[in-house]
Structure 1
Amino acid sequence: MSEPSRFDRGHTDDLMTFLAASPSPYHAVANTAERLEKAGFRQVAETDAWDGSSGGKYVIRGGAIVAWYVPEGAAPHTPFRIIGAHTDSPNLRVKPLPDSGAYGWRQVAVEIYGGPLLNSWLDRDLGLAGRLTLRDGSHRLVNIDRPLLRVPQLAIHLDRTVSSEGLKLDKQRHLQPIWGLGNDVRDGDLIAFLEEESGLAAGEVTGWDLMVHSVEPPAYLGRDRELLAAPRMDNLLSVHAATAALTAVSTGDLPYIPVLAAFDHEENGSQSDTGADGPLLGGVLERSVFARGGSYEDKARAFAGTVCLSSDTGHAVHPNYAERHDPTHHPRVNGGPILKVNVNNRYATDGSGRAVFAAASEKADVPFQSFVSNNAMPCGTTIGPITAARHGIRTVDIGVAILSMHSARELCGADDPFLLANVLVAFLEG
């Protein structure tokens, strides 16, 4: 078997392009599909009968995508090697009745999605993106990628306690962005604006899934440009790396069937038909086995030999808050991917999983770091434990260490994205 493909800083340049073009899960899925198509993958519909042919295939469902490559001659019981990630990020999402305002200001009514750092959305130029559902049931992506909205912070002169007591934001009252002036707020203004921007007829849009995003583009940062500042790295960084790895290995004979599973709704619990706690991944894997003439016994054998890397961002040690981290585990940016461990199963990694990841890192000649939470701090979680429990698949939690997680703009090392991609290639090749 050939040595793993080697990604370099050009991979990070491409990540910046991907992040800028993916302001919503739906855009991330569309851009992932475009890259898969260029690599020879073809989309299959869940409503169609599937055949057992070899090659690359993918399924799209809303803001989620599952892609896999079947090598020539793969047996029905051939195990899978899965990279799991998610397409959603914490943000502000438009309510069903979006038009509001007061005192001469036009505003957009939004709801808090996931657990964003609320202050990071203040005084920032925001665009609007997502999916429009048309009267005939079809969908249209929309992306107003220019300064359209703003959540203005209250001047310090009107809040003298902010310096001594800190910023306190009411999620209902203080996060509603402005987008214009006028006393006559009419129901349908925002959707009519989006119909016009999208070249649609008035009244053609009957449903929407819309969210705001920062229009500031990704950028290298630091004296030597060794850092990357960008939105939505949690977790499009992993989606991008997994896509690059899958397309790199999907060209020949492999002992496993490599899979990319990028789910939606991780940031609010994964319980949806497009989330990791839904049936999407299991259905795709089962149908792949059965399409190749397999039985339930073949499926059980395939799943028993399957391994999933749940790839999500983690916490780099923060120089201003080092006491919040475990005193003996200080992941650093540009130090390589992190292996995430929690003995209470907030992460799915165990010793056996560590060995799998260590082998892939060694093969790729990439260092890795270990992450555990401070015992006095609650630990976050990922799709990893959900995948392990729902499908009975050995799962390992990994990722890239970043700062400002869940901010409108996050920070990572500029080398870590391609280091992660190299390890993912080695893992998929087996």
Structure 2
Amino acid sequence: MESSNFNSSLLHFLQSSPTPFHATQSMKNRLLSSGFVELHEDHNWVIEEGGRYFVSRNGSSLIAFTTPSLDFFNTGWRMIGAHTDSPCFKLKPNAQVTRHGHHQLGVEVYGGVLLHTWLDRDLSIAGRVTFKTVTGDIKSRLIDFKKAIATIPNLAIHLNRGVNSDGFAVNAQEEILPILCDATNEFELKHVIQRQLEKEHSDIYVDLILDFELSMYDAQPPALVGLHDEYLCSARLDNLLSCFVGMEALIASNDERPSLLICTDHEEVGSLSTCGANGPFLEDVLRRLSPNPEHYVQAIQNSMLISADNAHALHPNYASKHDKLHAPTINQGAVIKVNNNQRYATNSETAAIYKDIAAQEGCNVQTFVVRSDMACGSTIGPITSGEIGVPTLDIGLPTFGMHSIRETAGSKDAYELYKVLARFTKRTNLIAK
């Protein structure tokens, strides 16, 4: 795949994946079209040599893997990890609010949202709806309004004179309720949801909306930006960018080594869930593939995980926020993330493996270490390595504005990471014992 085609497919993936449910469905569609077979956790599995498979949990997390050999305890796995969720606003169960002539939506902040970036944006709604059909069945389906249907207007500077000098703190309870329509129009949220559900799924006859998991999202499409298209600007780059890169690397693996992609939900809120990295999903899958306890431990110790999650690029307007010797630049290659307090799981051996592979591909490598006087974020890397004991590298693509409604990465970096990860899936030797 060429760089321009890669970025075009990436933009389409981002646009079609406004929620973790939609991202998982997008990955399912891509994997099915590439010859992967869907497995179901409540069925018996028949895994064959030379197979390509995937399984999902909760509709928002996915594990895909290839089995060129079934001798996992000798070959180990080449694993790539990412997460499907992004900071956002999620509708509360009783979301319908009417105030001062406007119908609004009560929302809950999910993850570490950069709140002010959501003001004055064109917002839409997507997610999962659970309902009872006219025949009495309970089902769930995805919906996506796609068009802009809401906004959160800023307060005029005339009513907030000190905003540019004193800063602007946004109250999450009172000041981020999206405005949906004016109160002269009749509005019942569940009726709106039901109409959208029946519009998108013509075979569904809904009797009653029972519940929903719906998120607000930026309706502006992703785009290449810059005089020479140097930048990729989009919502949810953290971390759908890594999901896409990892998926394409797995598809391109040519089945030379057993390889596995894990994309889990709820990383932005700690990963502790049935489908999160701090839950049992990955271990459940690996133990089904290596049911012998001795072989399972051997397989893990012959494996390596690359946890791919975005890294903080050196912002030219805020250069002092970086350690000047560990300040990665956009479009200069992926970033190895190091933290000796184990906020990242990188060690010298896993970093060395990545550097060696990158050199073979002619790709640049950068390093990020947070300033010693600042707190460090974390990823699924330490969680997964702590859960199953797999040697792990934390890496990411340099990004501006992480956790903003619209983030910025380099248009060259994703394709370079894809090339390195694709070679990683074929890697025979790790660290010599």
TM bucket by the smaller chain? over 0.9
Letter in 2 for 1:57: Y
Counterpart-to-counterpart distance in 2, 1:151 and 1:197: 26
1:268-323 deviation digits (Å, cap 9, x = unpaired)? 00000110000000111110123xxxx11111110111100000001000001100
Give 2:54's aligned residue.
58
Give 2:109's aligned residue.
112
Alignment equivalent of 2:307, drawn from 303, 310, 322 = 310
Give 1:272's aligned residue.
273
Alignment equivalent of 1:347, drawn from 344, 359, 378 = 344
* Residues 98, 190 of structure 1: 8 Å contact kept: no
Give 2:235's aligned residue.
231
TM-superposed deviation, 1:415: 0.5
* 1:219 pairs with 2:210: no
TM-superposed deviation, 1:53: 1.0
Give 2:399's aligned residue.
402
* Residues 80, 306 of structure 2: 8 Å contact kept: yes
Structure 1 residue runs of 5 or longer lacking an equivalent are 1-5
Give 1:379's aligned residue.
376
TM-superposed deviation, 1:181: 1.2
Distance 1:226 1:72, change over 3 A: same
Alignment equivalent of 1:188, drawn from 184, 190, 196 = 190
* Residues 150, 179 of structure 1: 8 Å contact kept: yes
Distance 1:299 1:23, change over 3 A: same
TM-superposed deviation, 1:257: 1.2
Counterpart-to-counterpart distance in 2, 1:185 and 1:10: 43
* Residues 73, 298 of structure 2: 8 Å contact kept: no
Letter in 2 for 1:163: N
Counterpart-to-counterpart distance in 2, 1:59 and 1:351: 32
Cα-Cα RMSD? 1.5
Counterpart-to-counterpart distance in 2, 1:163 and 1:398: 36
1:318-343 deviation digits (Å, cap 9, x = unpaired)? 00110010121120111011100000
Give 2:42's aligned residue.
47
TM-superposed deviation, 1:366: 1.0
What SS is found at the alignment partner of 1:23? coil
TM-score, L = length of structure 2: 0.93
TM-superposed deviation, 1:138: 2.4
* Residues 77, 289 of structure 1: 8 Å contact kept: no
Letter in 2 for 1:224: H
Counterparts of residues 30-429 of structure 1 (less than 5 Å): 30-54=25-49, 55-62=51-58, 63-72=60-69, 74-75=71-72, 77-135=74-132, 136-182=137-183, 186=188, 188-198=190-200, 199=202, 200-201=204-205, 203-249=207-253, 251-252=254-255, 254=256, 256-290=257-291, 295-429=292-426
* Residues 53, 64 of structure 2: 8 Å contact kept: yes
* Residues 314, 399 of structure 1: 8 Å contact kept: yes
What SS is found at the alignment partner of 1:151? coil
What is the count of residue pairs matched by the alignment? 418
Q: Which moved more, 1:199-208 or 1:157-166?
A: 199-208
Counterpart-to-counterpart distance in 1, 2:99 and 2:199: 25
Q: Which moved more, 1:314-323 or 1:187-196?
A: 187-196
Give 1:3's aligned residue.
none
TM-superposed deviation, 1:192: 4.0
Counterpart-to-counterpart distance in 2, 1:92 and 1:426: 37
TM-superposed deviation, 1:364: 2.1
Counterpart-to-counterpart distance in 2, 1:335 and 1:214: 28
TM-superposed deviation, 1:75: 4.8
Alignment equivalent of 1:27, drawn from 5, 22, 31 = 22
What SS is found at the alignment partner of 2:392? strand
Counterpart-to-counterpart distance in 2, 1:413 and 1:237: 11
Letter in 1 for 2:31: L
What SS is found at the alignment partner of 1:31? helix
Letter in 1 for 2:317: N
1:162-208 deviation digits (Å, cap 9, x = unpaired)? 12211111000001001001166656354345345445545432121
Letter in 2 for 1:371: F
Identity among equivalent positions (%) equals: 37
What SS is found at the alignment partner of 1:370? strand
What SS is found at the alignment partner of 1:140? strand
* Residues 9, 415 of structure 1: 8 Å contact kept: no
TM-score, L = length of structure 1: 0.94
Counterpart-to-counterpart distance in 2, 1:108 and 1:73: 51
What SS is found at the alignment partner of 2:374? coil
What SS is found at the alignment partner of 1:390? helix
TM-superposed deviation, 1:391: 0.4
Give 2:8's aligned residue.
13
TM-superposed deviation, 1:380: 0.5
